[in-house]
Chain A
Amino acid sequence: MIHPFMTNPDSGHLLFAMNGSINGNLQNAILEVAEHGLCNLPCSTRLRKRAFHILVECLQNVMLHGEKLSEQKYSQGQVMITALSDGILIRTGNEVSEAQSSAIRKKLQRLEGCAQDTLRSTYKKQLVEGKLSEEGGAGLGFVDIARKSGNDINYRFYPLGQNRYFFSLIVKVASNGRYSD
């Protein structure tokens, strides 16, 4: 399914969009295409690097939390990257269970409105105290995304029925972020 949020892009230059199964190999291809698109933008290297970094974390979130297709290491997900006049917008979407939605919501709510120094100390605390999950998650992804974007993370859970939700994550990497670009 293509969720409506993916079919109504913001005004701006669409760099990349896809809807489907994502695995490790496809992730490489997505990153390669996205990086090529980012390199052609008339923006600072710093903004491009931050956008790429955030894209990596967002994609890996989809792969960690997205609905797994039976017995395959594929996750169903959607990705969209748009260049705006004042930054780069990264959207990802994937289906999650009710338990996952509660856990993700809790993590994201903790980060809302946090100042940069708070995000940095939260990151360091989690880096020291956290443990890697079997799938390689460090519990640092959303903190890092918030740190690097310089903006609050926008998210929504659209009910799909049968205790399933479509998790939409929207991150704007602003060209006037926390450092003077």
Chain B
Amino acid sequence: MEDIQIEGTPKTPSVKFIASEGSLEIKGRSIPENSIEFYKPLMDWIEQYSASPQKETVVNIQLEYFNTSSSKCILDLFKKLEVINDQIVINWYYEEDDEDMLEAGEDYDAIINIPFKMIEIEEI
């Protein structure tokens, strides 16, 4: 399957999904008015990847901002990852002092049946 590599814009995050490495990364800002258009291809990719995933899958979410439209799409994306039975972890990065972003990660952690690792960093 083809990898996904998308450059970030002022409204959408950069995306790097590498199937052979089991590595999925979303980084930057996610504030499009209609997030479905942006996230639909990512969900389709995950659905395909989940059918024959790597033994280990690492998901890195490193967002500076995301709007409520994106929050729903991110949840749907995580739900698609839940079907992977092999080892999977979601690394949820947040800037130091950004308790809102930490709280958002905790909310997803409470909903999704995948282990989350909260990682504080200096700057996204």
Contacts and interface: CB of A to CB of B under 8 A. Distances in A.
B97 interface: yes
Given A28-B10, A28-B11, A141-B68, A136 B33 contact: yes
Contacts of B72: 127, 130-132, 138, 140
Q: Is the interface on chain B under 10, 10 to 19, 20 to 34, or 35 or more residues?
A: 20 to 34
Query: What's the dominant secondary structure at chain A's contact region?
Result: helix
A124 B73 CA distance: 14
Contacts of A132: 35-36, 69, 72-73
Contact of B67 (A50, A57, A130, A179): A57
Query: What's the dominant secondary structure at chain B's contact region?
Result: helix
A140 B33 contact: no
Q: Is the interface on chain A under 10, 10 to 19, 20 to 34, or 35 or more residues?
A: 20 to 34
Interface of B: 10-11, 31-36, 65, 67-69, 71-73, 75, 97-100, 103, 107, 110-111
Given A53-B100, A56-B67, A148-B100, 9 more contacts: A28-B11, A46-B100, A52-B65, A56-B65, A57-B67, A60-B33, A132-B35, A140-B72, A179-B99
